[in-house]
Structure 1
């Protein structure tokens, strides 16, 4: 049976569409590698312009026509979520960061099926972060905690950190990177808790006093293992938008620096996830979650309005 002209044209369209889809997928895979290398190694926020430039370069390499940004982001998130357990999330505008934050969040403690942002809000965003969408597995968390604790203890001698022990430690992967990440996340958790219980606004002097009580040096010396000064640490938190660092000039007191929760914290921790994190930090029973949640809402209700 011979094909008529209409059948031939329809098959041609299908082939062309499949070819375009294949090219889009190839470009999206390269963009995913770009995102992972930027966010995972440096934990940075990726600007929309960088994503567009990368996509343009990869499309040129694949001899592919221009891909609409929303199509690219959709394909990128399909790959990220299905293979790596991540979701590329657009940050809300800075001035509107306190509006609707809890609607667009996702963490290890939340349902991975509840992380999908409205497509328009994603494609209109100018800055993006990676969020972990994998379901929380307590047994895995316990295993990682035990491993991290073991790595940390392996470089301690008489309660002092020793570079020699670090250099001789060859346990899992890059030990230095693992331990730095452990210390960073631990201090980040402490800072978030302090800011929350300071009604989402704390002066730098007060924050540093609290951190000193945890053994963090605030005299300009390096924080052990992390190898940053306290100023480098808080500036990193501000740059990565875990906190917002605000400086005001005062004729009487000079520069006044304060901190509040940033857009990244709002995106990475919805209210329930924040409650669970702080419950574990405080060592409270799960049945105390409702009371803890009310306390947190009173302290930072403006951030999760």
Structure 2
């Protein structure tokens, strides 16, 4: 997780002559403490699904909790996180995959549970949490870029099952203004599970009407990875043009496309038109479309002629032929 103790431990492990070279995949969790004490012990979504536990009010050591909260906030404000990440990325010579994930209990979370009486949270239900994750995310990208580490797979799954990371967290990042990115030519796999909706209801824990696609539009225009082979997009509101732009901008290398819970917004184009574009202009090996929508309605595909030939193609759920 993004804490001083976890980053120190990871840096020490990477310094080891035996264990250091064995790191090929690095997963950074979004676990963090918040100013408001939790009313119940936070549980990552994946753990809730595997073994749901009854909610009990935690017995929190307030003094220790506040101490670790101050330490967490100082990690970013003091520049200490920059120093740790610089050291980590400089040693992780064999790391090819970077994942930001909130579905599992991060390394270091159990330590905070023992110390404070409560686990850190992974949700983004407050502006404080969103600001912390945005700052941490941008710090990670900046240091990754500065290191010159040539990762091949970059995946962002944080928040996609609760309050998804908004692309606004990505778009202001100065790293994305660099052209080309130092690791752009080595990237062959990209997965983003984000949400472009600006409004959501905290009371019902469900999203309100999501029709704004400005944020994802910025990502679609900025994305340029010459060697990208696999692209996975989840929980996104967008236009046909946004998707078409990404696909065609990477058509020379792109072979596998996976779309899950993608909604083409009202007056934003159609899936039929997008499939026709893919059929005529793309040379894919595999196209997967699962749980996707047209203006929040089930997809209607008119005729098999829209389905690209010579590729493995699958629809799942919410499809009306």
- TM-score normalised by L of structure 2: 0.29
Q: Which has the higher contact order (CA 8 A, sep 6+)?
A: 1
Of structures 1 and 2, the larger Rg is shown by: 1
The TM-score, its normalising length taken from structure 1, stands at 0.30
